[in-house]
Amino acid sequence: MTRTEPFEHHPDRYDQWFDRHSAVFAAEVRALRALLPRADRGLVVGVGTGRFAQALGVREGVDPAPEMRRRARQRGVRVRDGTAEALPYDDEQFDVALLVTTICFVDDVEKSLAEIHRVLVPGGALLVGMVDRESPLGKEYEDKKEGHSFYHVAHFHTATEVVRRMRAVGFDDFAFRQTLFHPLDDVEEEEPVKAGHGEGAFIAIRGDKRKVGARGGAREARRAHAEGRDSG
């Protein structure tokens, strides 16, 4: 997760977007909360300024951008410097991990997912929150990437692509929620959250780490990651 330049140079613009689109943010939080399990220890990977972590009650995060980390700490989040591809944690430390509006910015999706798998306990959950590339909003973001403060370095994905990559590193038992069924400026506070994907612009995907032994879990993630790269 090294594409940090936009977030280091435009932290105010990042936060102001959420201030202007508070109803959008609220809908995304509701979609994620619908899949969030009860957990003793959670981690937000690419925690940014800590908005999602704070809203969802997750108190630990990692981010490579210093100014983002500073602002997340102001929101009560314990933050460490690090990237999704090389998380600064030992194996099997967390019950749940969240990757929210971040997967489009990581340099290596498979390595990032394998790292998250590594730091989760067996049976732990990963929640990915993302804009679906095939949605009207995703297509708009693709069309306007050139010159955009943040999205010029983004690579958007579909739900099918993300699930395939999650499955390759050892996640299964997938569940989905979707929201944002209207243009962003038309989103109201009660924007619905529905099961499934394919209609809403924002998708929450949950996958659970397969329950294998502690050492076996780490080996499984590394093996699946290697197989995924060889076949891709």
Per-residue pLDDT in tens (0 to 9) along the chain, 232 residues = 445 665 565 567 778 888 888 999 999 999 999 999 998 999 999 999 999 999 999 999 999 999 999 999 999 999 999 999 999 999 999 999 999 999 988 999 999 999 999 999 999 999 999 999 888 887 877 777 665 455 656 788 999 999 999 999 999 999 999 999 998 888 887 899 999 999 999 999 999 998 864 344 444 444 444 444 333 3
**DSSP of the chain:** ----HHHHH-HHHHHHHHHHTHHHHHHHHHHHHTTPPP-SSEEEET-TTSHHHHHHT--EEEES-HHHHHHHHHTT-EEEE-BTTB-SS-SS-EEEEEEES-TTT-S-HHHHHHHHHHHEEEEEEEEEEEEBTTSHHHHHHHHT-TT-TTGGG---B-HHHHHHHHHHHTEEEEEEEEE--S-GGG--TT---EESSSSSSEEEEEEEE----HHHHHHHHHHHHHHHHHH-
The predicted structure's pLDDT at residue 184: 85
In CATH, what number is assigned to the domain containing residue 156?
3.40.50.150
pTM for this entry: 0.84
Q: Provide the residue range defining the domain that includes 113.
A: 5-231
Number of structural domains the chain divides into: 1
